[in-house]
């Protein structure tokens, strides 16, 4: 699934994102609005991980979708 599809289907994917990253709040997900760079940044912030790890997690999540 590419970035454009994620942005276009974001409302449908919010629930799956909540399951994957439970520390993300509804406000976080509303602000992200399907933007991959914003998602990576919020994951990095909430989980205290390096950007590379957050990118890896998002890439793996996209692949499963």
pTM: 0.85
Tens-place pLDDT, residues 31-57? 998 899 999 999 999 999 999 999 999
Is the confidence at residue 2, as pLDDT, over 70? no
Exposure string of 17-26, with b = 16+ CB inside 10 Å and e = fewer, is: beeebeebee
The range of the structural domain enclosing residue 7 comes to 3-64
Q: State what percent of residues in the chain have pLDDT above 70.
A: 94
Average per-residue pLDDT in the chain?
Answer: 90
Quote the number of domains for the chain. 1
Tens-place pLDDT, residues 3-22? 676 777 888 889 999 999 99
- At 6 the pLDDT is 73
- Residue 3: count other Cβ atoms within 10 Å of its Cβ: 13
CATH of the domain at 25: 1.10.1470.10
């Amino acid at each position: 699934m590419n970035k454009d599809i994620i942005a276009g289907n974001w409302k449908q994917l919010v629930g799956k994102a909540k399951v994957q990253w439970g520390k993300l709040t509804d406000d976080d997900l509303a602000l992200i609005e399907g933007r991959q760079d914003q998602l990576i940044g919020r994951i990095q912030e909430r989980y205290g991980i390096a950007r590379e790890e957050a990118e890896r997690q998002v890439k793996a999540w996209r692949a499963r979708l």
